[in-house]
Structures are given as C-alpha cells and as structure tokens.
Chains A and B, each alone.
Chain A
Amino acid sequence: MAHQAGVETGADDSGRVSLMNDPKARGFVFQALLIVAVAAMVWSGVTNAIDNLARAGIASGFGFFGERAGFDIGQTLIPYTNDSSYLRAFFVGLLNTMVVGVIGIFVATIIGFVVGLARLSKNYLVQKFATVYVEVLRNVPLLLQLLFWYKAVLSILPSPREAAQEAGVEIAFSINNRGLYLPRVVPENGASLIGYAIVAALLAWFFIGRWAKKRQIETGQQFPVFLTGLGLLIVLPVLAFLVTGMPLALEYASLQGFNMVGGWVIQPEFMALLLGLALYTASFIAEIVRAGILAVSRGQTEASYALGLRPNLTSRLVIVPQAMRVIIPPLTSQFLNLTKNSSLAVAIGYPDLVSIFGGTVLNQTGQAVEVISITMLVYLALSLLTSAFMNWFNSRVSLVER
C-alpha cells in the first residue's frame, strides 16, 4: 500500500503535501490576513476619529460624568435634580429601564401564559380570540404599537380639568392625559407591623408547605397548602391593620389650576411603554407556551390518566414540568428582547437609558463615541449575563439522553 501510494504521488516523493494544500498553513495565512485587515480597519477608524474630534473641538474621555447635567427628568427613582451630575442621570436612566423591564416581564409573562393556554382551549370562542390576539399583535411593529398607545389613545384622553369635573374634589381614580392618578397609601405610626405580618405569613406558608410535603410522603395524606397560605396572607395583615388602629391613610389627588396634585401618579409615557411592551411580548410568549405544551407527547397524558391522576393533577405534575423544559430557553430570550425593546422609549419620551443618555446627554456633550459605547455596553452586559444564566439553567434542566 505504502509503495503504491508512493508511486501514485510520484512527483512529491518526500511525502510532504505542498504548502498550498496544507490546511494548517492555509489556515495560518488566512487568519494572519484577517488580523491584518481588521487591525488596519480599526487603526484607520481610530486615527480618523481622533482627527475628526480634534477638528470639531469635541473633548474625549469620561470626564463629563462628573459635570452638572442641567436638565430635568420626568420620572426618577433616586433623588435627582438638574444640579446632579451626568453620572447620576445615567443611573436614573438605567433604573428607569430596569423598572419598565421588570414590570414588563412580569405582566407579559402572565398575559402570555394565559393567552398561550387559551390558544389550546377546546372552547371555540376563547381559542379564536387568543389566535386573533396573537396574530394581530405579533405582525405589527412594536414601535407602531407604542406610538398608537401614546398618541392615539392616551393623548386624546380628557385633560385633568375635565376629568376632575366628573370625579369631584377628592380624586380616587382618574385616568387623563397627564397620567393615571391613584390614591397614595401613606403609612403612619405602627404601619411597619403590617409589613412584618406579610413576611410572617409568607414564612408560615413556606414551612407549612414543607411540613405538608413531608407528611404526604410519610402518610399519603394531602393538605390544602395553597388555600391555607393564601388565607394566612390575607388574614394576618388585616389583623395587624386592625390591631394597630388602622395606621394607613390614603392621600387623594386634587385639582389645582390645570393639573392634579398629590396622589400616586403613573406617567402616560410609562403606561404606553408598559402596555406596548407587555402586550407585544405576550403574543410571542403565548406562542412559546403553546409550542412547549404541544411538545409534551400525548403518551405522557395517557400514562398519567392510566395512573389515575385527574386532569388538573396531570397538567400540574406531568405536563407543565416537562413543558417548562422546552419553554424556558426561548422565554428567556423573549425577556431579553423586551429589555432591549424598552429602548424604544426614546420615541415616546419615557426617560429610559437610551433616551436620557443616548439622547439628551449625547446632545449636550457631543461625545458620541463615549456615550453610545457606554449605552451599548450596558445592554451587551445585560444580554451576556442573561445568556450565561440561560446556558447554565439549560444544562441543569435538559434531559440527559443516552
């Protein structure tokens, strides 16, 4: 064999492959060329940028973080005035992004699961309704939906003045073009006991659950954990509320001039963003949930029935745990999408990270490179963290086959 091979190659008696055809050598040359090309691009970009910035007289570096911001922000979770620094404005924006992200994820998940289950319902009306919801919301751009909620729905609500005429002096609930007004709960002396009562109820729920599970394993007897827990969660805080002499007051909004003052206000920008994000993402989550449940084979349901489990228990103990394995990876990427999509806030003026930092701060300082890089890095860090978590979770729950 060796002899024959030697004869066939003929010209190349040494047995070495010509350098042209050696995958290693070719790979080396190709990669070297790639590095040179990328380095040349980066180098020319950087030198051009330095030239251009110097010519335009724009400062570089991150010194601007300490300077006075000088603009106001409509919704701030941490103390902020226009005397605060750009750094503080950055954190205000970041927090606002996170708030809308977290609440949006919460709402979208609930609506998504409900709609996803409704799409599998045997009830004709419910199923068609869910289908129409999913198809309409999924096929219309999110930005359009946001603008629709903001400009076509919330903006044409009555003004505070007109709304106040209907509501009277003490306004318990009012939705007008300045936002949603609800009474604010003002804690007085002793209100902290109510908080302790809630914590105590949650702890009790947890321990009752553990005890009930242990008892069920030992004796087979079941215990209504959920109802007991829910009862505790309602009864204990109410008791604490009554015992301490009702220490919660409600502060109502009232009309002053053209605007409403006091109470608890949810800005229309926030409402529009939350509505848009949650409804839009929910339509995707619904499809994921549906696919996940359909992915559990029919045999599992039949096996469960054969064991004598009732439909409710079947879905709780057999279907859902297996469906979750399919649902969770794409669900996480929807959460990520929602967070990234919250950057569309800039179109309706909700002060999120992109709108404050990539909008106002960029305009004031002109330091495009720094500002946009930081904004991108924040989102990048969020997504990389999420995908790292997702990979870890995936490797934990995925089935080990053969």
Chain B
Amino acid sequence: MDNNTQSIAFVRTEESPATAPPSTSSGVGGWIRENLFATPRDTVLSILTILLLIWMVPPIVDWAFISAVWTGEGREDCIVPGAGACWAFVEAKFGQFIYGRYPIEERWRVDLTGLLLIAGLVPIAIPSIPYKRENALYLLVVFPILAFILLTGQFGLEPVETALWGGLLVTLVVAIVGIVVSFPLGILLALGRRSEMPIVKMFCIIFIEFWRGVPLITVLFMSSVMLPLFLPEGVSFDKLLRALIGVALFSSAYMAEVIRGGLQAIPKGQYEAANAMALTFWQGTRLVIMPQALKLVIPGIVNTFIGLFKDTSLVLIIGLFDLLGIVQQNMTDPNWISPATPATGFVFAAFVFFIFCFGMSRYSAYMERRLDTGHK
C-alpha cells in the first residue's frame, strides 16, 4: 500500500501556475502583431497608413504649434517667413468672434443669457435629474422671453439693434430659435401628416416636402429678398428676424419627418389603448403617444439639431455675421492680412463648430445606448 503510492513518481497536490502566453501574443509586441500585422494585407495597409501619417501629422503639428505665432500686434508678426498659424489674430479678435459688434459695456447681458441657457440645458441633459417637464417649459418658454429682453434690451436696458450682433452669439441665436420653433411646429406637422382629415394632411405634406426639397440657401434668399415683397407697405422685419423665419420653417419640416418616424414606430395597440381609456385625441397624444414617440427619436432629433447648427453658417451669404461670417470679415482687416490668416481663422471657427457638434453627437450616442432596450 505504502509502497504503491510511492511508485507514482509525482502527484500534484495543487494547481500548476499558468504559463505565460507566448511572447508573440502578449504585451506591446503581441498587440502590434494582432492589430497591425495580422495578415499580409493588414501589413501593407498599416505601412501605407503610417507613411500617410508621417506625411501629414508633422507639418500640421509644426503649423499649428511649433512655428505658430502666439502673440503679436499685427500682420508684421505673422508674415515672417516660415511662420505657421497666426493665433495672435484669433487672440486679438476674440471678442468680436464671440459677440460681434455688441457694445463692450453691454456684453455682460450676452454672458448672462449664456449662463441662463446653461442653467436650463445641463439639468435637462442629465437623465437622473427630476422635473424634466418644468425644465423643458423653462427652456422652451421662459428662457426665450428672458433672452429676448436681455439681448435686444427691453425694460430700461440699453437697446442694442440686431445689426450689431455677431459671432458665436448670432450662431447660437439662429440655432436656438430654429430649434425652439421647429420642435413644436414639427410635432404639429407630423401629427397633421398622419391626420385623417384630407385637407390638413395635404397641406402638411406639401409644406414638408416643399421645404425639404429646396436648399437652405434659396430659403434664405427667399426670406431676405422675397418676403418683404409679400408684406404690406411700411411693415418690415429686420434682417436677422427674416433669416430666423426662414431657418425655423426649414428646420421644422425636417423635424416633422423625424417625429413622424417615431409616431410610425408606435404600435397600433397603443393608439387603441388610448382610445379605449376614453382619452380624447389630444389627451392620448400628450399622455400616451408622444412620450413614447419622442423617446424613440431622441437621437434623430439631436441629429437634426446638429444639422441645423451647422447650417446656421449659411446666414453669412445673406449678409449676417455669424461666427464664420465674422471670422471671414476680419480676415480682410488690413492690419492682419497675411498668408496664414485665412487658414488660422477657419481652423478656429472649425474648432468651435466641432466642439458643439461633436458634443451633441456624443450625447446622442449616449442617449441611444441608454434608451436601447435590446429588442430588435
């Protein structure tokens, strides 16, 4: 017995330690092998991409950072040979890029409006904070009134005419007015398009398809050139308001189609259930259909907002100075003309637009993941 156990050469009494993975599949080398040189085709692609990056990245870094002119008084500082981006230009004109020609001593009003906006936006964007309904009411009704009073100057504030507005201020005003107006209008149009009343339905279809079929630039031309002709003599809107009307009508058509997508995705049973509960059409829409439909299309709505935000730059073509417009106008400032100025200005504007749009698209992706219930 005893002898027998000893005849077995070795009995392991505990688990053997795991051997290290082969060096070819672990660590940095393994990662590179697996992700860059897995197949001959991958190897070729990787080498080509690396060459492309070597060709592109160093000049861009050099232009934007190493050879860039960070401080300066005028074009003489930026026109030196071998100079990269002229950031001094952005620094000198920064106030204009944000506020346009808004009087300097009144700029606190713009800042305050911005703070009011953030105070409304942040809580509505974070899903766990309650009082969404009140918050939405604040953003869609209270905030626009406050912003109007502050920006145009009512109730004893110094009036500032819209011709002086510019820069990021105009970009945000056009985008936010477009969003705030297009949202309710889009809901009405979407409901109208699904209505059983033939004439209402027809009007909605014509309205939506018309605005979706024409480029925004012709809409802006129309609102700036044609609209005044249709108004009675003596009635005239200012230029910004005319652009706002065009943008709002245009974006409400797109919004309507997004919301219609949500309405179509609601099962028929929900409508029937609302009817069975003896809810009127509007009660059913408000309490049963819309909460579900809007939740479904939040990503689509955010994408429409992103599109609208980018499209606001078109107002420069009808002579308004939004962020892009004012950057472009300042490029012609004789004090700052240099070969690097246009690129610097555009890169700055692109960066600002990118931050807003990328932020919104990340948020939309986050909501999509959050709302995804996994049913397909």
Residues of A within 8 A of B (CB): 27, 30-31, 34-35, 38, 44-46, 48-49, 51-53, 55, 121-126, 129, 135-136, 138-145, 147-148, 151-153, 155-156, 340-341, 343-344, 346-347, 354, 358, 362, 368-369, 372, 375-376, 379-380, 382-384
Contacts and interface: CB of A to CB of B under 8 A. Distances in A.
B172 interface: no
A144 to B, nearest CB: 5
A34 B313 contact: no
Contacts of A382: 213
B229 A49 contact: yes
A341 B209 CA distance: 17
A124 B313 contact: no
B244 interface: no
A126 B42 CA distance: 9
A158 B311 CA distance: 32
B324 interface: yes
Contacts of B331: 151
Interface of B: 35-36, 38, 42, 45-46, 49-50, 52-53, 196-200, 203, 209-210, 212-218, 221-222, 225-226, 228-233, 306, 310-314, 316-317, 324, 328, 331, 339, 342-343, 346-347, 349-350, 353-354, 357-358, 361
A372 B42 contact: no
A135 B361 CA distance: 9
A326 to B, nearest CB: 14
Contact of A141 (B46, B214, B231, B324): B324
A139 B229 contact: no
A147 B342 CA distance: 9
Nearest to B228: A52
Given A122-B35, A139-B358, A379-B214, A34 B199 contact: yes
Contact of B221 (A144, A152, A372): A372
Nearest to A383: B213
Given A49-B229, A139-B361, A343-B217, A34 B306 contact: no
Main secondary structure of the interface of A (DSSP, over half): helix
Nearest to A336: B213
Determine which residue in A30, A152, A369 has the highest number of CB atoms from chain B within 10 A of its CB, and name it: A152
A144 B350 contact: yes
B49 A368 contact: no
Given A129-B49, A156-B339, A123 B35 contact: yes
A51 B233 contact: yes
Given A143-B314, A340-B216, 18 more contacts: A31-B197, A45-B230, A46-B230, A49-B229, A49-B230, A122-B42, A125-B53, A129-B49, A136-B354, A143-B313, A148-B343, A152-B342, A341-B215, A343-B217, A346-B317, A358-B221, A369-B226, A372-B222
A376 B214 contact: yes
A38 B203 contact: yes
Given A136-B354, A152-B342, A344-B314, A380 B210 contact: yes
B203 A34 contact: yes
A375 B36 contact: no
